[in-house]
Chains A and B, each alone.
Chain A
Amino acid sequence: KQEVTQIPAALSVPEGENLVLNCSFTDSAIYNLQWFRQDPGKGLTSLLLIQSSQREQTSGRLNASLDKSSGRSTLYIAASQPGDSATYLCAVLSNSGYALNFGKGTSLLVTP
């Protein structure tokens, strides 16, 4: 069974810092990997989708990389802002399945 781990579980940084969130998965036979943002009491907002054949995707201040062979993905947030405070979830779609396998998330707090 695909296991997805996110490190750290929680992170607090001052505004303006660049930061990296990590995601690892146990089975490299994946179809794609998706990063989400979840605000307290809200639904999930899709941030970036990386297909298994891709190495990275960028959207604004966000950059996600994928190293399928080592089972790792990182989400890089540049010049963090207090509005970036949220929980970030990594989810993997395996070749053999239809369900996204989610990590437990990294709770990010950006302080002014």
Chain B
Amino acid sequence: NAGVTQTPKFQVLKTGQSMTLQCAQDMNHNSMYWYRQDPGMGLRLIYYSASEGTTDKGEVPNGYNVSRLNKREFSLRLESAAPSQTSVYFCASSGVGGVRVEQYFGPGTRLTVT
């Protein structure tokens, strides 16, 4: 049972480039999330999807877009990367009961924007 998987693990972008971070879960969870983790800031929610077909903004959505492709997959897109988006990105999911139950996290994507 793989849980929550993320690709890629590491990425270096130049300012202005675009990329998509992929996330998939195999736990049949309804809800999925994207967080970013910055030193001294803790983890902050970027976007979430309470259920398949819905997405909503979190605390820091600017500069990002998301797609809930199906129940398993939730992708995060940076259209024009900026140095301020250098961070570690975590995808998470939560199961039956939706957003108000235990969240499980993936291993993270470490992104550097130069």
Contact = CB atoms under 8 A, between A and B. Distances in A.
Tell me if chain B binds chain A: yes
Interface of A: 4, 31-32, 34, 36, 41-46, 49, 89, 91, 93, 98-100, 102-105
Contacts of B40: 104
Contacts of A89: 42-43
A89 B105 CA distance: 13
Interface SS of chain A: helix, strand, loop or mixed? strand
A45 B35 CA distance: 15
Given A42-B108, A44-B90, A98 B56 contact: yes
A99 B90 contact: no
B48 A43 contact: no
A42 B107 contact: yes
Interface SS of chain B: helix, strand, loop or mixed? strand
A46 B27 CA distance: 15
B107 A99 contact: no
A102 B105 contact: no
B111 interface: no
A89 B103 CA distance: 13
A105 B38 CA distance: 12
Contacts of A36: 105
A98 B48 contact: yes
> How big is the B interface, by class?
20 to 34
Interface of B: 4, 31, 33, 35, 40-45, 48, 50, 56, 58-59, 90, 92, 99-108, 110
B42 A43 contact: no
A27 B107 CA distance: 30
Contacts of A49: 101-102
B99 A98 contact: yes
A34 B103 contact: yes
A10 B104 CA distance: 25
A43 B91 CA distance: 9
Contacts of B59: 99
27 contacts: A4-B42, A32-B100, A32-B102, A42-B107, A42-B108, A44-B92, A44-B105, A45-B105, A46-B102, A46-B103, A46-B105, A49-B101, A89-B43, A91-B43, A93-B99, A93-B100, A98-B99, A99-B33, A99-B45, A99-B48, A99-B59, A100-B45, A100-B103, A102-B44, A104-B41, A104-B42, A105-B42
